[in-house]
Amino acid sequence: MQSEDPSPMAERNRQLNQLLDTVEQAQQVARALCNSQVGNDEVKMLFGRLEAVRLEVTQLHRGQRLAPFEEIDPKWTGFLPWPLS
């Protein structure tokens, strides 16, 4: 008996579901850190960034077109393959 390969769309949905689960787990950890380290702005920023990722993955899963994000982390700009002007 030969098993069928999943369609590209089914595989994409599976991967997005897995990514969403992972991001939600990371958010739980960040939430616990926020509660244990009151006043730690870096942990709050981490939670905010994870929420942005969760929203983006949710939009991808729903097939919505993404609006470009305005904020770019300065630490990440050195990794871009093109110069920023």
Q: What is the dihedral of CA 23, 25, 29, 30, to 10 degrees?
A: 30
pLDDT of amino acid 78: 52
What is the structure's pLDDT at 70? 57
Q: What is the pLDDT of residue 20?
A: 92
Which of 20, 82, 83 minimizes the C-alpha distance to 54? 20
Closest CA to 50 of 76, 30, 72: 30
Could you tell me the pTM of the whole model? Answer: 0.62
69-80 per-position pLDDT tens digit: 555 555 555 554
- Dump pLDDT digits (tens) for 23-69: 999 999 988 888 887 777 888 788 888 888 888 888 888 876 555 55
Residue 1, pLDDT score: 46
- The single residue listed with the structure tokens 């949905």 is 13
Domain extents for the chain? 10-63
